[in-house]
Amino acid sequence: MNNPKQSSGASGTANAATDHVRIFDTSLRDGEQAPGFSMNRHAKLRMAHALEALGVDVLEAGFPQASPDDFAAVTEIAGALRETTVCALARCQDGDIDSAARALEPAQQARIHLFLSTSPLHREHKLRMGKAQVLDTAVRAIERARGYCQDVEFSAEDALRTEPDFLVEVFSAAVAAGASTLNAPDTVGYTTPEEIAGLFRHLRQHVRGAERVTFSSHCHDDLGMAVANSLAAVGAGARQVECTINGIGERAGNAALEEVVMALKVRAPYFGVSLGIHTPQLYPASRLLSELTGQAVPRNKAIVGSNAFAHESGIHQHGMLKHRGTYEIMRPQDVGIAATTLVLGKHSGRAALRQRLQALGYAPDDHGLDALFIGFKQLADARGEVNDDDLHTLAREADLRADATQATGAVA
């Protein structure tokens, strides 16, 4: 068996005291396996390049043992990326581990990601294993993976429904066997921010060798708390967050990468951590994923939705025209969007209408604006949104009415 290139850089064994949070993107594995988000190899490679440009620390390229196509995709991505660590998923089974290692052979920096269920429900009904068998299986798998790769991550599937003391026991054994990253996933999106923070504090305090490894969170959004739970985990010492572009993933999806990243950036004084993400690449990556999968991004999606930096309310628009900070906590350019949009609709006020008219080359006085505003509101009620062509028409009609009025007055 050939060895993939061993990683001794930023994605290898971590100093647990660091304030750097690694972003582990699993859009091409957990995200891609969700219904409606399947991608072919060419699409995956395009997305992988976009994710490397974004600056993700680790990119989970796929599950090589799942299919020949998945194996080929992981190999192609592993050979194409230069800065990002390429990761392959494997069950704690010899065939999976060997397949992951072969797929990762071209990688500059490689990681094997092992997973094994640990919760009572999964042990009884999925694995049909006792605690001792789970421990033995995990240790043997980590040791085998370490024969190929220095950078090995171990995930305790359904960790948030696992007995905390048993999770400590499993993770302690994983550290001793050579794992450098320990992932405690909320596999079914069941936990709350307070609970997950408490678990990560417990793990960091009680896992033997905790100071030598990186703790990671992987949260699903079944109850709509994936991002909040991920941030709570970071607050409790997790230094890797597993997430996906646009929050895609199994069932209701994963923690949305763009939301996690911008929360940590905008609230940097609160969280006190650093990131390696080039945030202006967030919007391009989001739109590329939408293009490749044919799945539209909801208008109200945080950070990258078309409404994220759009304002229609007259009160908000008036505030934005006075000072951007009144209603925006980050700049659209920070995430790769060209500019804020003041949407002209039935909720808009005179200030926004004047500003748009001036941008189009019109300079109505107060009387003229009042007259035009009446027609604008009528059109907005009928159409919902008024575009620039509509404004040109309204302005020309207002000028014609003004000329007609002046002519009538002269004749009289």
> Which tens digit of pLDDT belongs to each residue from 22-66?
999 999 999 998 989 999 999 999 999 999 999 999 999 999 999
CA–CA gap between residue 128 and residue 45 (Å, rounded):
38
Q: What is the tens place of the pLDDT at every residue in 72-112?
A: 999 999 999 999 999 999 999 999 999 999 999 999 999 99
> Residue 166: its pLDDT value, please?
97
Least confident of 18-27, 53-62, 181-190, 401-410: 401-410
Write b or e for each residue in 331-366: b if 16 or more Cβ atoms lie within 10 A of its Cβ, otherwise e.
ebebbbbeebebbbbbebbbbbbbbbbeeeebebee
> Residue 401: its pLDDT value, please?
55
**Which H or E element spans position 265?**
helix 257-266
Is the pLDDT score of 7 beyond 50? no
Query: Are the CB atoms for 200 and 238 separated by under 8 Å?
Result: yes
Is the pLDDT score of 312 beyond 80? no
Q: What is the DSSP letter of 83?
A: S
SS3 340: coil
Give the C-alpha distances (Å, rounded to integers) separating 384 from 22, 51, 143, 372, 390. Answer: 43, 37, 62, 17, 12
Write b or e for each residue in 83-113: b if 16 or more Cβ atoms lie within 10 A of its Cβ, otherwise e.
ebbbbbbbbbbeebbbbbbbbbbbbbbbbbb
| Count of beta carbons in the 10 Å neighbourhood of residue 274 | 13
Residue, of 327 and 271, whose pLDDT is higher: 271
Is the pLDDT score of 410 beyond 50? no
Is the pLDDT score of 189 beyond 90? yes
Query: Are the CB atoms for 89 and 58 separated by under 8 Å?
Result: no
**What amino acid is encoded at 339 in this protein?**
A
Is the pLDDT score of 393 beyond 60? yes
Is the pLDDT score of 407 beyond 60? no
Query: Are the CB atoms for 257 and 25 separated by under 8 Å?
Result: yes
Between helix 257-266 and helix 282-293 the angle, nearest 10°, is: 170
| Count of beta carbons in the 10 Å neighbourhood of residue 388 | 12
CA–CA gap between residue 200 and residue 36 (Å, rounded):
33
Position 230 confidence tier, pLDDT thresholds 50, 70, 90: very high
Query: Are the CB atoms for 106 and 72 separated by under 8 Å?
Result: no
Hey, where are the domains in the chain?
22-293, 310-411
The arithmetic mean of pLDDT across residues 310-331, rounded, is: 77
CA–CA gap between residue 183 and residue 30 (Å, rounded):
15
SS3 161: helix
Position 237 confidence tier, pLDDT thresholds 50, 70, 90: very high
The arithmetic mean of pLDDT across residues 130-154, rounded, is: 97
Is the pLDDT score of 5 beyond 70? no
Query: Are the CB atoms for 244 and 23 separated by under 8 Å?
Result: no
Residue, of 248 and 384, whose pLDDT is higher: 248
Give the C-alpha distances (Å, rounded to integers) separating 402 from 318, 382, 406, 408. Answer: 28, 24, 6, 10
CATH class of this structure's domain 22-293: alpha beta
Is the pLDDT score of 241 beyond 50? yes
Least confident of 154-158, 338-342, 360-364: 338-342
- DSSP H helical segments within 14-81, as ranges? 41-54, 68-80
CA–CA gap between residue 77 and residue 337 (Å, rounded):
28
Q: What is the DSSP letter of 216?
A: E
Considering the chain, what is the average pLDDT of its residues? 89
Is the pLDDT score of 316 beyond 80? no
